[in-house]
Amino acid sequence: MPFVDMNVALCEVKVRSMAFDPDIASVPFRRQDQPMASTREDEAYDDEPIVITGVGLVASAGMDRESVWRAVRDGRSCVRRLSGLRGLPDGKILGATVDMPAEYPSRLKVLPMAEMAANEAVRDARLDLDAIDRDRFGCSISSHMGDASWLEEQAGLKVPNDPGRTPWWQQWLPNSTCIHIANKLGSTGPRYSYSTACASSLISFMSAVRALREGQCDVAIAGGADAIDPLFVAGFQKMRVLAEHEDPNQACRPFDRNRSGFVIGEGAAMLVLERLSHAQQRAARIYAQVLSCRALADAHHVTGLDADSEALSYLISSTLRSSKLRPRDVGYVNAHGTGTQQNDLVEMRSIREAFGPAADQLCVSSTKSTLGHMINAAGGTELAITVLAMRDGFAPPTKNLTDPDPELSFDCVPMVGRRNQFQNALKLSVAFGGHLVAVALSRWNDAASGFSYPPEAKVA
């Protein structure tokens, strides 16, 4: 089946677009026989490691990183029947919603969720914003506005705009969240925002890694946020990909024989990334090193996946190669795992095809059965969960996996998580529109700058 390696395509697009780059356009004319002075920005794709030093999370299961992680570890979800979604019957749709504190009125829900996650990530990284070069601080954040009921009230002039809040007309753009967080944190380095369905925040992470490797910045914050939108919910319902069950917390069943779809979720995830030299200079704690990020465009179908799993298998294999990892070097895969018939089947086949016999030793899990499908925020949230799983040496469970699909030929950690000190991990995103993304990470084990395994994570 046709597919495009976006890691090659992105480089090609960048070369073709250089003439339109205002920074390049402002450089004085240079004859071809004159050597160009080497600058940090010109040293593309150098070998300096990129590391993760901070994590922030907001989700239905908690308003901070550790609360969300405990819920995921325990397989404890907060799915409920939703009401008040315009055009949809009350109680019909299941969702994992975030209950925002009362001090956040007059703003679309994505902004305070993104703010909370970003602030937590910066605190976790112990990043002194007054001590860094703001021009070397990048921001790569994706979001969909969601939660549009308040915006409708503002646009209809039913409620006057609070002058102390962000004006409604500055909140609805696709890049509004990125701009908002960058301004809040004082980031004047590169800014990126992507709209690639449920791969958006993972591609935002990938973009931040590229900016760091190219020398455009020394530190960056990356991730995504999303809130439940009635229009999107109606579309998913029309596509028949939303799960139904008499018990909302048992509805989403990734890799299970009786799976029927996903439950919609919302929240935010932010990660602080740095060039290793920058992190070491300020004696930062380090979670993990980013080994490789790769994207692929599957041209099979706008919403369907290639049942032969050729594209996703190729993506996994190429990510392992670019990470210099053998299949047996990977201990954990955080799958996209939506709980739909088609997605899970393709992932099961692709993981087996790419890993071969080494798949027998893998721990694979989907956390969407706990947190819901957070759409734009899904990839970033699940990458953060992967980082925390590596930190603690614990493979989180796939909740509601009680009757495995007959094609499931590897360990999906059913129902109960367990200790597993894996060194390398892989995160996959498989989005509508053919957006396939993989990120490979390696745990940072340096005694001085890394994290020690908690006592309960020690293998007996």
Catalytic residues: 198, 336, 373
Continuous segment of H or E residues that includes residue 69: helix 65-74
How do beta strands 288-298 and 264-265 pair?
A: unpaired
Q: Are 448 and 213 in contact (CB under 8 A)?
A: no
Selection from 112, 123, 220, 121 nearest residue 165 by Cα: 112
How do beta strands 267-275 and 50-59 pair?
A: antiparallel
Give the C-alpha separation, 445 to 410, whole Å.
Answer: 27
Q: Position of tokens 């409620």?
A: 159
Q: Position of tokens 């609360």?
A: 67
Q: Are 106 and 162 in contact (CB under 8 A)?
A: yes
- Residue 434: CB partners within 8 Å, gap ≥ 6? 3, 297, 298, 299, 300, 301, 302, 311
Q: Both tokens of residue 101?
A: 């504190």
The torsion of the CA quartet 104, 109, 111, 115, rounded to 10 degrees, works out to: 60
Q: Both tokens of residue 295?
A: 């994207």
Give the C-alpha separation, 193 to 413, whole Å.
Answer: 34
